Amino acid sequence: MPKAKYENSLDRHYLLKNIPTPPFGDVKARHIVSYDEYVGNGGYQGLRKTLTMTPNEIIGEVKQSSLRGRGGAGFPAGVKWSFLPPIKLADGTEVGDEHAGKDVPVEGRYLAVNADESEPGTFKDRLLMECDPHALLEGIAICCYACRLSKAYIFIRGEYHHQAHVLEKALKEAYEQGIFGDKGIIGSGENTAGPRFRVDCYVHRGAGAYICGEETGLLEAIEGKRGWPRTKPPFPAIKGLFGKPTIINNVETLCHIPDIINHGAAWFCELGVESSVGGPPSFGTKLMGVSGHVERPGVYECELGIPLRTLVDEFCGGMRNGKKFKGAIAGGVSMGVLGPDQFDAELDFDIGRKYNVLGLGTACPTVFDEDTDMVAVCRNISRFFKHESCGQCTPCREGSGWLYQLLCKIESGDGRTKDLDLALEIATSMGTMPGTTICGLADGNNWATRTIMSKYREEFEARVKPTYVPVAMTVGASAKG
Protein backbone atom coordinates (compact mmCIF):
# COMPACT_ATOMS: atom_id res chain seq x y z
CA MET A 1 0.00 0.00 0.00
CA PRO A 2 1.70 3.25 -1.09
CA LYS A 3 2.72 5.89 1.39
CA ALA A 4 0.84 8.59 -0.51
CA LYS A 5 -2.48 7.06 0.53
CA TYR A 6 -1.88 8.18 4.10
CA GLU A 7 -0.65 11.72 3.44
CA ASN A 8 -3.14 14.47 4.33
CA SER A 9 -5.93 11.93 4.64
CA LEU A 10 -7.87 13.61 7.44
CA ASP A 11 -11.10 12.63 5.69
CA ARG A 12 -10.12 9.04 6.47
CA HIS A 13 -9.36 9.91 10.08
CA TYR A 14 -12.72 10.37 11.77
CA LEU A 15 -12.67 8.28 14.97
CA LEU A 16 -9.74 10.39 16.20
CA LYS A 17 -10.91 13.67 14.69
CA ASN A 18 -11.12 15.18 18.18
CA ILE A 19 -7.98 13.44 19.47
CA PRO A 20 -4.67 14.81 18.08
CA THR A 21 -2.65 11.85 16.85
CA PRO A 22 0.51 11.56 14.72
CA PRO A 23 1.02 12.03 11.85
CA PHE A 24 -1.93 14.47 11.84
CA GLY A 25 -1.51 16.05 15.28
CA ASP A 26 0.55 16.37 18.44
CA VAL A 27 -0.30 14.09 21.38
CA LYS A 28 0.55 16.94 23.75
CA ALA A 29 -2.59 18.73 22.56
CA ARG A 30 -4.89 15.97 23.77
CA HIS A 31 -7.61 16.85 26.27
CA ILE A 32 -11.04 15.69 27.40
CA VAL A 33 -13.64 16.78 24.84
CA SER A 34 -16.61 18.35 26.64
CA TYR A 35 -20.23 18.22 25.48
CA ASP A 36 -20.09 21.76 24.07
CA GLU A 37 -16.87 21.10 22.14
CA TYR A 38 -18.19 17.79 20.84
CA VAL A 39 -21.38 19.42 19.56
CA GLY A 40 -19.35 22.29 18.08
CA ASN A 41 -17.39 19.75 16.04
CA GLY A 42 -20.55 18.15 14.66
CA GLY A 43 -21.29 15.77 17.49
CA TYR A 44 -24.76 14.33 18.07
CA GLN A 45 -25.77 15.15 14.48
CA GLY A 46 -25.87 11.42 13.80
CA LEU A 47 -28.29 10.97 16.70
CA ARG A 48 -30.51 13.80 15.45
CA LYS A 49 -30.59 12.23 12.00
CA THR A 50 -31.36 8.87 13.60
CA LEU A 51 -34.53 10.27 15.14
CA THR A 52 -35.88 11.06 11.66
CA MET A 53 -35.47 7.41 10.68
CA THR A 54 -37.32 4.27 11.69
CA PRO A 55 -35.48 1.64 13.74
CA ASN A 56 -35.43 -0.80 10.84
CA GLU A 57 -33.96 1.85 8.54
CA ILE A 58 -31.12 2.43 11.01
CA ILE A 59 -30.37 -1.28 11.34
CA GLY A 60 -30.49 -1.60 7.56
CA GLU A 61 -27.94 1.22 7.16
CA VAL A 62 -25.57 -0.43 9.62
CA LYS A 63 -26.00 -3.76 7.82
CA GLN A 64 -25.21 -2.18 4.46
CA SER A 65 -22.02 -0.65 5.88
CA SER A 66 -20.70 -4.14 6.70
CA LEU A 67 -19.35 -2.74 9.97
CA ARG A 68 -17.67 -5.64 11.75
CA GLY A 69 -17.19 -5.75 15.50
CA ARG A 70 -13.98 -4.08 16.65
CA GLY A 71 -13.69 -6.03 19.89
CA GLY A 72 -11.93 -9.05 18.39
CA ALA A 73 -14.42 -11.41 16.76
CA GLY A 74 -15.28 -9.22 13.77
CA PHE A 75 -18.96 -10.22 13.66
CA PRO A 76 -21.16 -7.83 11.58
CA ALA A 77 -22.79 -5.36 13.97
CA GLY A 78 -25.98 -4.84 11.95
CA VAL A 79 -26.56 -8.58 11.72
CA LYS A 80 -26.13 -8.89 15.48
CA TRP A 81 -28.70 -6.13 16.04
CA SER A 82 -31.21 -7.97 13.87
CA PHE A 83 -31.01 -11.08 16.08
CA LEU A 84 -33.15 -9.45 18.77
CA PRO A 85 -36.65 -10.93 19.06
CA PRO A 86 -39.52 -8.63 18.04
CA ILE A 87 -41.40 -6.65 20.66
CA LYS A 88 -45.04 -7.64 21.05
CA LEU A 89 -47.92 -5.44 22.14
CA ALA A 90 -50.54 -6.54 24.63
CA ASP A 91 -52.71 -7.94 21.83
CA GLY A 92 -49.82 -10.04 20.51
CA THR A 93 -49.05 -7.77 17.54
CA GLU A 94 -45.38 -7.53 16.65
CA VAL A 95 -43.95 -4.02 16.77
CA GLY A 96 -42.66 -2.85 13.39
CA ASP A 97 -41.89 0.42 11.64
CA GLU A 98 -45.60 1.18 11.50
CA HIS A 99 -45.49 1.58 15.29
CA ALA A 100 -42.60 4.09 15.22
CA GLY A 101 -44.94 6.92 16.14
CA LYS A 102 -46.55 5.06 19.01
CA ASP A 103 -45.50 4.42 22.59
CA VAL A 104 -44.37 0.80 22.73
CA PRO A 105 -43.00 -1.18 25.69
CA VAL A 106 -39.21 -1.55 25.66
CA GLU A 107 -38.48 -2.40 29.29
CA GLY A 108 -36.26 -5.40 29.83
CA ARG A 109 -34.10 -5.02 26.69
CA TYR A 110 -30.48 -4.09 27.27
CA LEU A 111 -27.23 -2.93 25.72
CA ALA A 112 -24.01 -4.12 27.34
CA VAL A 113 -20.97 -2.12 26.21
CA ASN A 114 -17.74 -4.10 26.39
CA ALA A 115 -15.19 -1.60 27.69
CA ASP A 116 -13.21 -4.22 29.59
CA GLU A 117 -10.26 -4.15 27.17
CA SER A 118 -8.16 -6.61 29.12
CA GLU A 119 -6.46 -8.26 26.12
CA PRO A 120 -2.70 -7.79 26.63
CA GLY A 121 -1.24 -5.28 24.19
CA THR A 122 -4.61 -3.59 23.60
CA PHE A 123 -5.29 0.01 24.63
CA LYS A 124 -7.34 1.58 21.81
CA ASP A 125 -10.70 1.88 23.62
CA ARG A 126 -8.97 3.57 26.54
CA LEU A 127 -8.01 6.48 24.28
CA LEU A 128 -11.59 6.97 23.07
CA MET A 129 -13.03 6.89 26.58
CA GLU A 130 -10.47 9.19 28.18
CA CYS A 131 -10.48 11.85 25.44
CA ASP A 132 -13.76 11.70 23.47
CA PRO A 133 -16.37 10.03 25.69
CA HIS A 134 -19.37 11.62 23.96
CA ALA A 135 -18.57 9.71 20.75
CA LEU A 136 -19.28 6.52 22.69
CA LEU A 137 -22.39 7.95 24.32
CA GLU A 138 -23.81 9.03 20.95
CA GLY A 139 -23.22 5.55 19.55
CA ILE A 140 -24.95 4.05 22.59
CA ALA A 141 -28.00 6.30 22.16
CA ILE A 142 -28.31 5.43 18.45
CA CYS A 143 -27.99 1.71 19.13
CA CYS A 144 -30.61 1.82 21.88
CA TYR A 145 -33.06 3.70 19.68
CA ALA A 146 -32.52 1.40 16.70
CA CYS A 147 -32.85 -1.79 18.73
CA ARG A 148 -35.46 -0.46 21.15
CA LEU A 149 -33.33 -0.99 24.24
CA SER A 150 -34.26 0.60 27.54
CA LYS A 151 -30.94 0.54 29.42
CA ALA A 152 -27.24 0.52 28.61
CA TYR A 153 -24.44 -0.65 30.88
CA ILE A 154 -20.85 0.34 30.11
CA PHE A 155 -18.76 -2.44 31.64
CA ILE A 156 -15.34 -0.86 32.12
CA ARG A 157 -12.32 -2.72 33.47
CA GLY A 158 -11.44 -2.05 37.08
CA GLU A 159 -7.95 -0.71 36.27
CA TYR A 160 -9.40 2.13 34.15
CA HIS A 161 -9.93 4.48 37.10
CA HIS A 162 -9.39 7.75 35.22
CA GLN A 163 -11.42 6.64 32.21
CA ALA A 164 -14.35 5.67 34.44
CA HIS A 165 -14.36 9.14 36.03
CA VAL A 166 -14.25 10.78 32.59
CA LEU A 167 -17.21 8.68 31.44
CA GLU A 168 -19.20 9.49 34.58
CA LYS A 169 -18.69 13.22 34.01
CA ALA A 170 -19.63 12.96 30.33
CA LEU A 171 -22.69 10.90 31.24
CA LYS A 172 -23.78 13.61 33.65
CA GLU A 173 -23.49 16.16 30.83
CA ALA A 174 -25.50 13.89 28.53
CA TYR A 175 -28.30 13.59 31.09
CA GLU A 176 -28.36 17.37 31.58
CA GLN A 177 -28.65 17.87 27.81
CA GLY A 178 -31.45 15.35 27.42
CA ILE A 179 -29.51 12.62 25.62
CA PHE A 180 -30.52 10.17 28.33
CA GLY A 181 -33.10 10.21 31.09
CA ASP A 182 -36.57 11.70 31.60
CA LYS A 183 -36.43 14.15 28.72
CA GLY A 184 -36.20 11.38 26.15
CA ILE A 185 -33.46 11.31 23.52
CA ILE A 186 -32.86 15.06 22.90
CA GLY A 187 -36.48 15.68 23.84
CA SER A 188 -39.65 14.69 22.02
CA GLY A 189 -39.51 17.72 19.73
CA GLU A 190 -36.48 16.28 17.92
CA ASN A 191 -37.95 12.81 17.63
CA THR A 192 -40.07 13.17 14.50
CA ALA A 193 -40.43 9.41 14.18
CA GLY A 194 -42.29 9.07 17.46
CA PRO A 195 -42.79 10.27 21.03
CA ARG A 196 -40.13 10.46 23.68
CA PHE A 197 -37.91 7.41 23.79
CA ARG A 198 -36.20 7.13 27.15
CA VAL A 199 -32.84 5.43 27.64
CA ASP A 200 -30.82 5.19 30.84
CA CYS A 201 -27.09 4.59 30.81
CA TYR A 202 -24.78 3.43 33.62
CA VAL A 203 -21.05 2.96 34.11
CA HIS A 204 -20.34 -0.42 35.73
CA ARG A 205 -16.84 -0.96 37.12
CA GLY A 206 -15.26 -4.38 36.74
CA ALA A 207 -12.93 -6.09 39.21
CA GLY A 208 -10.00 -6.72 36.86
CA ALA A 209 -10.64 -10.24 35.55
CA TYR A 210 -9.59 -10.97 31.95
CA ILE A 211 -12.39 -13.49 31.51
CA CYS A 212 -15.00 -10.74 31.91
CA GLY A 213 -14.05 -9.54 28.44
CA GLU A 214 -15.84 -12.64 27.12
CA GLU A 215 -19.40 -11.53 26.42
CA THR A 216 -21.27 -13.93 28.68
CA GLY A 217 -18.69 -13.57 31.45
CA LEU A 218 -19.31 -9.83 31.16
CA LEU A 219 -23.06 -10.36 31.60
CA GLU A 220 -22.48 -12.45 34.72
CA ALA A 221 -20.25 -9.70 36.16
CA ILE A 222 -22.84 -6.96 35.51
CA GLU A 223 -25.38 -9.11 37.35
CA GLY A 224 -23.02 -9.15 40.33
CA LYS A 225 -21.97 -12.77 39.95
CA ARG A 226 -18.60 -14.43 39.48
CA GLY A 227 -17.28 -13.84 35.95
CA TRP A 228 -17.86 -17.34 34.57
CA PRO A 229 -18.79 -17.67 30.88
CA ARG A 230 -22.16 -19.19 30.09
CA THR A 231 -22.87 -22.04 27.73
CA LYS A 232 -24.50 -21.04 24.44
CA PRO A 233 -27.23 -21.34 23.27
CA PRO A 234 -29.23 -19.49 24.40
CA PHE A 235 -27.39 -16.53 22.92
CA PRO A 236 -27.43 -13.08 24.57
CA ALA A 237 -29.72 -11.59 21.91
CA ILE A 238 -32.43 -13.98 23.11
CA LYS A 239 -31.52 -14.48 26.78
CA GLY A 240 -28.79 -12.18 28.00
CA LEU A 241 -28.57 -9.69 30.84
CA PHE A 242 -31.01 -10.61 33.63
CA GLY A 243 -32.41 -13.24 31.27
CA LYS A 244 -33.64 -10.61 28.80
CA PRO A 245 -32.71 -9.80 25.16
CA THR A 246 -29.31 -8.09 25.11
CA ILE A 247 -26.95 -6.60 22.53
CA ILE A 248 -23.23 -6.62 23.37
CA ASN A 249 -20.96 -4.23 21.44
CA ASN A 250 -17.41 -3.03 21.82
CA VAL A 251 -16.56 0.64 22.48
CA GLU A 252 -14.88 1.23 19.12
CA THR A 253 -17.75 -0.47 17.26
CA LEU A 254 -20.29 1.93 18.76
CA CYS A 255 -18.07 4.95 18.08
CA HIS A 256 -18.30 4.16 14.34
CA ILE A 257 -22.11 4.32 14.33
CA PRO A 258 -22.65 8.14 14.35
CA ASP A 259 -20.40 8.64 11.30
CA ILE A 260 -22.08 5.79 9.42
CA ILE A 261 -25.48 7.40 10.02
CA ASN A 262 -24.16 10.88 9.16
CA HIS A 263 -22.34 9.98 5.95
CA GLY A 264 -24.13 6.81 4.88
CA ALA A 265 -23.14 3.20 4.39
CA ALA A 266 -21.73 3.87 0.91
CA TRP A 267 -19.22 6.35 2.34
CA PHE A 268 -18.08 3.83 4.93
CA CYS A 269 -17.65 1.13 2.27
CA GLU A 270 -15.22 3.37 0.37
CA LEU A 271 -12.76 2.90 3.24
CA GLY A 272 -10.92 -0.35 3.86
CA VAL A 273 -10.71 -3.33 1.53
CA GLU A 274 -12.72 -6.14 0.01
CA SER A 275 -11.89 -9.68 1.07
CA SER A 276 -9.09 -11.30 -0.92
CA VAL A 277 -10.15 -14.83 0.04
CA GLY A 278 -13.84 -14.67 -0.78
CA GLY A 279 -15.05 -13.75 2.73
CA PRO A 280 -16.89 -10.72 4.12
CA PRO A 281 -15.22 -7.35 3.43
CA SER A 282 -13.07 -5.35 5.84
CA PHE A 283 -14.56 -1.88 5.40
CA GLY A 284 -13.87 1.27 7.41
CA THR A 285 -10.98 2.41 9.53
CA LYS A 286 -9.56 0.68 12.58
CA LEU A 287 -7.78 1.94 15.66
CA MET A 288 -4.45 0.15 15.94
CA GLY A 289 -2.54 0.42 19.20
CA VAL A 290 1.09 -0.34 18.44
CA SER A 291 3.49 -1.30 21.24
CA GLY A 292 6.84 -3.03 21.49
CA HIS A 293 10.06 -2.31 19.65
CA VAL A 294 9.03 0.68 17.52
CA GLU A 295 10.25 4.26 17.68
CA ARG A 296 6.83 5.81 18.38
CA PRO A 297 4.32 3.48 20.09
CA GLY A 298 0.75 4.72 20.21
CA VAL A 299 -2.79 4.44 18.84
CA TYR A 300 -3.25 5.19 15.15
CA GLU A 301 -6.33 5.21 12.93
CA CYS A 302 -5.75 3.37 9.67
CA GLU A 303 -7.88 1.88 6.96
CA LEU A 304 -8.28 -1.85 7.28
CA GLY A 305 -5.91 -3.63 4.94
CA ILE A 306 -2.83 -1.55 5.74
CA PRO A 307 0.33 -3.71 5.70
CA LEU A 308 2.03 -4.08 9.06
CA ARG A 309 5.27 -2.78 7.54
CA THR A 310 3.54 0.44 6.44
CA LEU A 311 2.00 0.91 9.88
CA VAL A 312 5.38 0.51 11.55
CA ASP A 313 7.41 2.59 9.07
CA GLU A 314 5.01 5.40 8.22
CA PHE A 315 3.11 5.86 11.47
CA CYS A 316 5.46 4.53 14.16
CA GLY A 317 8.75 5.84 12.81
CA GLY A 318 10.19 2.41 12.02
CA MET A 319 11.78 -0.27 14.17
CA ARG A 320 13.45 0.98 17.35
CA ASN A 321 17.17 1.73 16.98
CA GLY A 322 17.04 0.52 13.38
CA LYS A 323 16.94 -3.14 14.35
CA LYS A 324 15.42 -5.88 12.21
CA PHE A 325 11.83 -7.07 12.50
CA LYS A 326 11.52 -10.52 14.07
CA GLY A 327 7.78 -10.93 14.60
CA ALA A 328 4.60 -9.36 15.90
CA ILE A 329 1.47 -10.26 17.79
CA ALA A 330 -0.99 -8.71 15.37
CA GLY A 331 -4.15 -8.41 17.42
CA GLY A 332 -3.67 -9.19 21.11
CA VAL A 333 -1.78 -12.18 22.47
CA SER A 334 -4.65 -14.62 21.98
CA MET A 335 -4.44 -14.25 18.19
CA GLY A 336 -0.99 -15.81 17.83
CA VAL A 337 2.13 -14.40 16.20
CA LEU A 338 3.23 -13.25 12.74
CA GLY A 339 6.62 -14.70 11.84
CA PRO A 340 9.77 -12.95 10.57
CA ASP A 341 8.70 -13.42 6.93
CA GLN A 342 5.23 -11.90 7.51
CA PHE A 343 6.13 -8.22 8.04
CA ASP A 344 4.02 -7.30 4.99
CA ALA A 345 0.87 -8.99 6.34
CA GLU A 346 -2.27 -6.96 5.58
CA LEU A 347 -4.14 -6.00 8.75
CA ASP A 348 -7.69 -6.93 7.82
CA PHE A 349 -10.15 -9.64 8.79
CA ASP A 350 -8.63 -12.11 6.29
CA ILE A 351 -5.36 -12.22 8.22
CA GLY A 352 -6.20 -15.48 10.00
CA ARG A 353 -6.73 -17.51 6.84
CA LYS A 354 -3.75 -15.97 5.04
CA TYR A 355 -1.06 -15.97 7.73
CA ASN A 356 -1.95 -18.85 10.06
CA VAL A 357 -3.12 -16.86 13.06
CA LEU A 358 -6.44 -17.02 14.88
CA GLY A 359 -7.67 -13.70 13.46
CA LEU A 360 -7.27 -9.93 13.42
CA GLY A 361 -8.47 -9.64 17.02
CA THR A 362 -8.19 -6.11 18.37
CA ALA A 363 -5.65 -5.14 15.65
CA CYS A 364 -3.20 -3.83 18.22
CA PRO A 365 0.23 -5.12 17.17
CA THR A 366 3.04 -5.81 19.63
CA VAL A 367 6.24 -5.70 17.57
CA PHE A 368 9.41 -7.69 18.35
CA ASP A 369 12.92 -6.90 17.15
CA GLU A 370 15.76 -9.29 16.36
CA ASP A 371 16.95 -9.51 19.99
CA THR A 372 13.64 -10.85 21.37
CA ASP A 373 13.68 -14.23 23.11
CA MET A 374 10.60 -15.91 21.64
CA VAL A 375 10.80 -18.80 24.11
CA ALA A 376 10.43 -16.28 26.93
CA VAL A 377 7.56 -14.59 25.06
CA CYS A 378 5.72 -17.92 24.76
CA ARG A 379 6.29 -18.77 28.42
CA ASN A 380 5.07 -15.33 29.55
CA ILE A 381 1.89 -15.55 27.48
CA SER A 382 1.23 -19.02 28.90
CA ARG A 383 1.69 -17.67 32.42
CA PHE A 384 -0.94 -15.01 31.73
CA PHE A 385 -3.56 -17.48 30.49
CA LYS A 386 -2.87 -19.84 33.39
CA HIS A 387 -3.47 -16.97 35.82
CA GLU A 388 -6.63 -15.73 34.09
CA SER A 389 -8.40 -19.06 33.53
CA CYS A 390 -11.66 -18.99 35.49
CA GLY A 391 -11.25 -22.71 36.21
CA GLN A 392 -14.72 -23.72 35.06
CA CYS A 393 -13.53 -26.07 32.29
CA THR A 394 -11.05 -28.83 33.18
CA PRO A 395 -9.05 -28.76 29.91
CA CYS A 396 -8.39 -25.05 30.36
CA ARG A 397 -7.83 -25.13 34.12
CA GLU A 398 -5.44 -28.10 34.06
CA GLY A 399 -4.03 -27.75 30.56
CA SER A 400 -2.95 -24.12 31.02
CA GLY A 401 -1.04 -25.13 34.15
CA TRP A 402 0.68 -28.07 32.47
CA LEU A 403 1.57 -25.94 29.47
CA TYR A 404 3.12 -23.24 31.65
CA GLN A 405 5.19 -25.80 33.56
CA LEU A 406 6.49 -27.32 30.33
CA LEU A 407 7.44 -23.94 28.86
CA CYS A 408 9.25 -22.95 32.08
CA LYS A 409 11.18 -26.22 31.84
CA ILE A 410 12.03 -25.58 28.18
CA GLU A 411 13.09 -21.97 28.83
CA SER A 412 15.44 -22.98 31.65
CA GLY A 413 17.16 -25.56 29.43
CA ASP A 414 15.92 -28.57 31.40
CA GLY A 415 13.52 -29.80 28.72
CA ARG A 416 13.95 -32.43 26.07
CA THR A 417 12.84 -32.64 22.44
CA LYS A 418 9.80 -34.71 23.41
CA ASP A 419 8.62 -31.81 25.63
CA LEU A 420 8.13 -29.67 22.53
CA ASP A 421 5.75 -32.22 21.04
CA LEU A 422 4.01 -32.67 24.39
CA ALA A 423 3.45 -28.91 24.71
CA LEU A 424 1.89 -28.76 21.25
CA GLU A 425 -0.28 -31.78 22.02
CA ILE A 426 -1.61 -30.15 25.19
CA ALA A 427 -2.21 -26.84 23.42
CA THR A 428 -4.20 -28.36 20.55
CA SER A 429 -6.47 -30.20 23.00
CA MET A 430 -7.82 -27.00 24.62
CA GLY A 431 -10.46 -24.57 23.42
CA THR A 432 -13.89 -24.18 21.89
CA MET A 433 -12.64 -25.17 18.44
CA PRO A 434 -11.56 -28.62 19.65
CA GLY A 435 -14.88 -28.55 21.52
CA THR A 436 -13.49 -28.94 25.03
CA THR A 437 -14.28 -25.59 26.71
CA ILE A 438 -17.16 -23.14 27.08
CA CYS A 439 -15.31 -19.98 26.04
CA GLY A 440 -12.32 -19.09 23.88
CA LEU A 441 -9.73 -18.33 26.57
CA ALA A 442 -8.08 -21.72 26.01
CA ASP A 443 -8.08 -21.06 22.24
CA GLY A 444 -6.00 -17.96 22.87
CA ASN A 445 -3.50 -20.01 24.87
CA ASN A 446 -3.61 -22.67 22.18
CA TRP A 447 -2.96 -20.37 19.20
CA ALA A 448 -0.31 -18.29 20.93
CA THR A 449 1.68 -21.40 21.86
CA ARG A 450 1.23 -23.17 18.54
CA THR A 451 2.12 -20.23 16.30
CA ILE A 452 5.19 -19.20 18.31
CA MET A 453 6.52 -22.75 18.59
CA SER A 454 5.94 -23.50 14.90
CA LYS A 455 7.29 -20.22 13.50
CA TYR A 456 10.35 -20.16 15.79
CA ARG A 457 10.97 -23.91 16.08
CA GLU A 458 14.76 -23.52 15.87
CA GLU A 459 14.82 -21.34 18.98
CA PHE A 460 12.93 -23.93 20.98
CA GLU A 461 15.02 -26.83 19.74
CA ALA A 462 18.19 -24.96 20.70
CA ARG A 463 16.97 -24.74 24.32
CA VAL A 464 16.26 -28.45 24.87
CA LYS A 465 18.32 -31.61 25.04
CA PRO A 466 17.77 -34.27 22.37
CA THR A 467 15.59 -37.19 23.38
CA TYR A 468 17.24 -40.56 22.70
CA VAL A 469 15.38 -43.88 22.78
CA PRO A 470 18.01 -46.69 23.02
CA VAL A 471 17.18 -49.86 21.09
CA ALA A 472 18.77 -53.22 22.11
CA MET A 473 19.40 -55.65 19.28
CA THR A 474 18.86 -59.37 20.01
CA VAL A 475 18.88 -62.57 17.96
CA GLY A 476 16.42 -65.06 19.35
CA ALA A 477 14.76 -65.15 22.74
CA SER A 478 17.87 -66.37 24.61
CA ALA A 479 20.46 -64.21 22.89
CA LYS A 480 22.93 -62.44 25.15
CA GLY A 481 24.63 -59.15 24.49
| 23-64 per-position pLDDT tens digit | 788 899 999 999 999 999 999 999 999 988 888 999 999 999
Residue 66: which of 276, 321, 271, 354 has the closest Cα? 271
The CATH T-level fold of domain 32-88+106-269 is Rossmann fold (3.40.50)
Q: What is the pTM of this model?
A: 0.90
Average pLDDT estimate for 313-326? 95
In this predicted model, what pLDDT tens digit does every residue of 267-280 receive, in sequence order?
Answer: 999 999 998 888 89
Amino acid letter, 345:
A
Residue 403: which of 349, 439, 450, 354 has the closest Cα? 450
Q: Domain boundaries in the chain?
A: 32-88+106-269, 272-369, 374-463
Question: Of how many residues is the chain composed?
Answer: 481
Q: Which of 6-15, 21-30, 338-347, 365-374 has the least mean pLDDT?
A: 6-15
Confidence of residue 101 (pLDDT cuts 50, 70, 90): very low
Helices (H) and strands (E) in the chain, counts: 17, 11
Computed over every residue of the chain, the mean pLDDT equals 88
Confidence of residue 8 (pLDDT cuts 50, 70, 90): very low
Q: Write down the architecture of domain 272-369 according to CATH.
A: Roll (3.10)
Do 32-88+106-269 and 272-369 agree at the fold level? no
Tell me the β-bridge partners of 294.
319
Domain 374-463 in CATH 1.40.20.10: no
pLDDT above 60 (res 304): yes
Give the span between the Cα atoms of 346 and 447, in whole angstroms: 19
